[in-house]
C-alpha cells in the first residue's frame, strides 16, 4: 500500500485528479469504479475543470458507481440519490455517454458479471467511512462479498444524514459493490481528508487486516494508493 500525504486537501485533489486523468488519456476506454460522498465533490470539480481545459474525451469511458441507496424512487431526479449526485457533480459536465454509466440496483443483479464482461475495473476510486467502511461494506462484511443489498449501520445513517433534511429520511438500505468486487480492480485510490478520518486511517495503516475495518483489506491489494491530507494522516 502506497501512502501519499499532502499538506492540504487542494494538493491531494491535484494529485488524485492527475492520476485519474493520466489513466484516461492512456486508456480512453478505461472502466472506472466511482465513489460519491463529500470527499469526492472537489475531485470531480477539478476533473471537470481539467476536462474542459485539456479538451479531454470521456465518451468511451465506462463507469460503475460503487453504491446507491435502495428504495429511492426515480434515482435520476431524486436529489438524494447517488445517481443525481454523479449527474450534478461530474456526468453533466463531461461527454460521458449515458449508456456507459452504471449503478448497482435491484434491476442490475449481475453487476459483478457486467463489470467482468467489459474487462474489469481499471481504477476504483474509494472514500472511507469513519468506521472504516469502503463503499457500503460496513464492519463485519465478508472480504469475499460481491455486489449486493446491505443494511446501513446507525453510524453511517448518522454521518449521511447531513445530506438529508432529517436522519429519518436517510434510507436504511443500499446496494453496494462487494469487497471482492473492489479488490479485483487493477488499481485503487482511496482519498481521505480531515480530522474525522484520522482514526480510521490509523486503523487501516497501523493495525492488522480485520473485518472490523473493511478498508484494512487494501493491504492485500497490490496497487493501492492512499491519498491523504495532513489532517487525515495526523495519527500515522
Task: Name which of 104 and 129 has its Cβ closer to ligand PGA.
Answer: 129
Q: Exactly one of 33, 37, 75, 132 binds ligand PGA (CB under 6 A); which one?
A: 37
Q: Exactly one of 42, 127, 132, 178 binds ligand PGA (CB under 6 A); which one?
A: 127
- CA atoms of 22 and 54, how far apart (whole Å): 11
Q: Which of 87, 89, 133, 160 is catalytic?
A: 133
Residue with cell 481539467: 50
Beta carbons of 21 and 54 less than 8 angstroms apart: yes
The sheet with strand 224-229 has its strands ordered as 2-6, 224-229, 187-192, 123-126, 31-34, 62-65, 101-102
Q: Does 129 bind ligand PGA (CB under 6 A)?
A: yes
Choices 26-34, 124-132, 207-215, 224-232; region in contact with ligand PGA by CB under 6 A: 124-132
Q: How far is the CB of 29 from ligand PGA (least distance, A)?
A: 27
| Burial tier of 144 (Cβ tally within 10 Å: 0-12, 13-18, 19+) | exposed
Please indicate whether residue 133 is annotated as part of the active site: yes
Q: How many residues bind ligand PGA (CB under 6 A)?
A: 6
Q: How far is the CB of 39 from ligand PGA (least distance, A)?
A: 3
- CA atoms of 160 and 87, how far apart (whole Å): 19
Question: Interface with ligand PGA by CB under 6 A: which residues?
Answer: 37-39, 127-129
Q: So which residues are the catalytic ones?
A: 67, 131, 133, 138
Amino acid at each position: 500500500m502506497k501512502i501519499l500525504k499532502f499538506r492540504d486537501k487542494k494538493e491531494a485533489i491535484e494529485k488524485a485528479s492527475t492520476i485519474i486523468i493520466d489513466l484516461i488519456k492512456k486508456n480512453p476506454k478505461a472502466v472506472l469504479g466511482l465513489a460519491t460522498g463529500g470527499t469526492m465533490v472537489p475531485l470531480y470539480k477539478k476533473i471537470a475543470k481539467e476536462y474542459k481545459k485539456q479538451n479531454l474525451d470521456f465518451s468511451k469511458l465506462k463507469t460503475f458507481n460503487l453504491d446507491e441507496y435502495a428504495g429511492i424512487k426515480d434515482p435520476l431526479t431524486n436529489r438524494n440519490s447517488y445517481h443525481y449526485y454523479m449527474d450534478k457533480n461530474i456526468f453533466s459536465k463531461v461527454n460521458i455517454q449515458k449508456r456507459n454509466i452504471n449503478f448497482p440496483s435491484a434491476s442490475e443483479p449481475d453487476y459483478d458479471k457486467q463489470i467482468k464482461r467489459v474487462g474489469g475495473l481499471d481504477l476504483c476510486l474509494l472514500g472511507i467511512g469513519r468506521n472504516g467502511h469502503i463503499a457500503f461494506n460496513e464492519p463485519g462484511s465478508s472480504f469475499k462479498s460481491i455486489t449486493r443489498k446491505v443494511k446501513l449501520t446507525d453510524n453511517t445513517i448518522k454521518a449521511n444524514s447531513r445530506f438529508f433534511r432529517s436522519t429519518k429520511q436517510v434510507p436504511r438500505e443500499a446496494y453496494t459493490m462487494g469487497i471482492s468486487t473492489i479488490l479485483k480492480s487493477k488499481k485503487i485510490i482511496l482519498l481521505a481528508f480531515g480530522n474525522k478520518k484520522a482514526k480510521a486511517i490509523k486503523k487501516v495503516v497501523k493495525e492488522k487486516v480485520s473485518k472490523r475495518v473493511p478498508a484494512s483489506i487494501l493491504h492485500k491489494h497490490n496497487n493501492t494508493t492512499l491519498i491523504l491530507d495532513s489532517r487525515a494522516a495526523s495519527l500515522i
